[in-house]
Structure formats: structure tokens, C-alpha cells
Amino acid sequence: MQIQPGCKITFTCALKNNEGELLESDNHTLLFAPGQGDLPAAIEDALLGQSAGGELRLCLPPEECFGSYDLEAIVTVPRSEFPPDAEIVPGDIVPISLVSDDGEQLSNPEESAMEARVVQINPEAIVLDANHPWAGEEINFEIDILAVEPG
């Protein structure tokens, strides 16, 4: 059976950067519904018509994966915004909420909640980076299709 919209596919997927470093590897089973945002569009397009046993090797630019690196996603937050006893170190991932300049939440809490990586800490402020860790990188996808079933 060939992959088509509505079928169930099982596949392994390895993500690597251009240096060949393994970023992530996982087995996935999903109901294939192109356009739903489960997979980058270029991968959805490449999967159509493939069968069990097929292999895909794709290199996608940042814009089609995790986005370009955005300098505006680096923010400095006053230390007073964090609990005084919080044990935060560079590299930690912390939850943040999007608010307007006048302090109003931009949308409901589920939609405005994000995570950011702690980049730097000093007594007055904490610098956070809300970019995806792989933002700005080309990502190499190595996909092995294990099974294709009717949906």
C-alpha cells in the first residue's frame, strides 16, 4: 500500500545537523493527514506515494523546520520576576508567558505559554532565549517507513 492522506504510517525518523550530529531519533506512528502540521510540508509531500520499506533522506532549510534564529526572541527579564529562592542556572528551560508592553496577557494562557532557555544570569537580570534550540539550522531528516495501513 502506498502512503496517501488518511492512512496510518509507522516510521523511524532521525534528525541530524549538517555536521552529522544526531539531534533526535524516534519511532512514530500517526494517522497521515497532510496539512495538519504534524510534519513539515516538504516531508509530507515526499511521503506521498511511498510504501513500507521506503527510505527518505531530506535536508530542509531553517524556514521549513524550526525557523530562522530570531534575535528578538532573546529577552532580558528582571531578576525580581523570578522567585528569590529559585535555583536557576544557565541551560535551564523555564516557562514564560507572552505579555504586551502594558503588561496585559496577549492571549489565553495556553496559547501564550512558551519555554525559554536561560542564557545568562546576573544579580539584576536573567537573559532568556526563546528560539528553538535548532533554530537557524538546516536539518537532515532520515526517515525509514516501517508500515503503511489503511486509516
Q: Are residues 12 and 62 in the same domain?
A: yes
Residue 1 lies in a domain: no
Question: Model confidence over 30-50: pLDDT tens digits?
Answer: 777 777 778 899 999 999 999
Residue 96 near residue 72, CB atoms below 8 Å: no
Residue 12 near residue 29, CB atoms below 8 Å: no
CATH label of the domain that carries residue 46: 3.10.50.40
Cell of 129: 532565549
pLDDT band at 105 (very low <50, low <70, confident <90, very high): low
Residue 12 lies in a domain: yes
Q: Are residues 43 and 78 in the same domain?
A: no
Q: Are residues 13 and 62 in the same domain?
A: yes
Residue 81 lies in a domain: yes
Q: Are residues 139 and 121 in the same domain?
A: no
Residue 136 near residue 68, CB atoms below 8 Å: yes
Question: Is pLDDT at 123 greater than 70 in this prediction?
Answer: yes
| pTM listed for this prediction | 0.75
Q: Are residues 61 and 75 in the same domain?
A: no
Q: How many domains does the chain have?
A: 2
Q: Are residues 142 and 119 in the same domain?
A: no
Domain that holds residue 91: 71-129
Question: Model confidence over 106-120: pLDDT tens digits?
Answer: 555 555 568 999 999
Apex CA 16: angle with CA 15 and CA 18, to 5°?
145
Residue 3 lies in a domain: no
Q: Are residues 16 and 48 in the same domain?
A: yes
What are the distances in angstroms from CA 40 to CA 29, 35, 36, 130? 16, 9, 10, 20
Residue 17 lies in a domain: yes
Quick one: pLDDT at residue 114?
83
